[in-house]
Chains A and B, each alone.
Chain A
């Protein structure tokens, strides 16, 4: 294969992968950082990294996990050397509030806020499981945790959300 067609093929492969998984990359980034503008930056950085190391992806069937791992690292880089900030749900920046744009379903809006308020340790495995469809073993691999720790975090995350939903129902 000559150089130009190899480059075209590389670009085509990248475009296809990104087109398929862009939404997952963005949503994962958004739920990790809880800020629309930062999520967009993180995804842009992740796409650049992915482009530069595309040759390291041997099997396109593993592309989703590969891309999400890059997003996770880029998000960590973004917040590297910064103190982790607690998001005050009553005092959100415009970019944070943009993620909570309210829809007609009030119950869903409340639940979205509750997910938003979960600690990072609980929110991330929940996103990986519910939104990305990973098993607890896979989540453990991605987050560097033992399966028992993943199960505990997921259990606590759901109980917290269940509690919040019940509280909202009582109001």
Chain B
């Protein structure tokens, strides 16, 4: 082993204990090794950033017989008994009941609610708007155009609903965060109401797609609905 080989190995893995023969006769590599060990100690200390207090998300009840990863959910391909079981489970977890949900729409509402449950971090009150860049990334121009009239957007992500990537936005209402899911390819024939103990919402048909809007029970969503409908235009 020569100096170059030894230094390559020790810099890649300071615990490397080979090359003892070379090391014992090479002062330069001994010095290099000591430098690397010293540096590694500092790297380890520099990486020890402060950790926030453990905050567990709301964990849904698990029925081990019916565990299906969210990403794998495809309501239309799912047997009827499973759709029913999932609805009951969600109602138990988020305390939401769905009204006006027909057979065709049940899986969409189910998926929307499951998604909210899956992304609780989106529902933090905030006064910090997302950057234009982040918004443009979550709402690509080929999916929808969004005016700034929609409200203070504090969260914007691309999420998966029914196997399709859709923009997930959160605006700040008078009574807390309001979730908006823009679903240009989820056509529904009529509005679907979502009603819960602390939340309420609606999935509105918009052109060939739909928009879900869900906020706190006290929130007057009619105003938000109007504003969102005026702000969004499908590009597809």
Contact = CB atoms under 8 A, between A and B. Distances in A.
A112 interface: yes
Interface in A74-116: 78, 80-83, 93-94, 99, 101, 107-108, 111-112, 115
B40 A130 contact: yes
Interface residues of B, number: 42
A82 B67 contact: no
A83 to B, nearest CB: 7
A27 B47 contact: yes
A57 interface: no
Interface string B136-161: 01000000000000000000011000
Interface stretch (B6-14, B96-104, B214-222): B6-14
Nearest to A93: B131
A55 interface: yes
A110 to B, nearest CB: 9
B72 to A, nearest CB: 11
Interface residues on A, range: 35 or more
B77 interface: no
- B35, B40, B46, B64: most-surrounded residue (chain A CB, <10 A): B46
Given A10-B62, A159-B11, A40 B52 contact: yes
Given A18-B54, A83-B137, A108 B49 contact: no
B60 to A, nearest CB: 7
A27 B137 contact: no
Interface stretch (B21-29, B118-126, B180-188, B189-197): B118-126
A7 to B, nearest CB: 7
Contacts of B43: 111, 115, 126, 130, 158, 161
Contacts of B157: 78
B45 A108 contact: yes
Contacts of A26: 51-52
A44 B120 contact: yes
A131 B52 CA distance: 17
B13 A129 contact: yes
B11 A158 contact: yes
Interface in B36-62: 36, 39-40, 42-52, 54-57, 59-62
What 4 A-B pairs are tightest by C-beta distance, nearest first? A151-B12, A155-B12, A112-B46, A154-B12
Given A27-B49, A45-B121, 20 more contacts: A7-B61, A11-B59, A19-B54, A30-B49, A31-B47, A40-B52, A44-B120, A48-B57, A51-B60, A51-B62, A52-B69, A82-B137, A101-B50, A111-B42, A115-B46, A115-B47, A130-B44, A131-B48, A150-B12, A154-B12
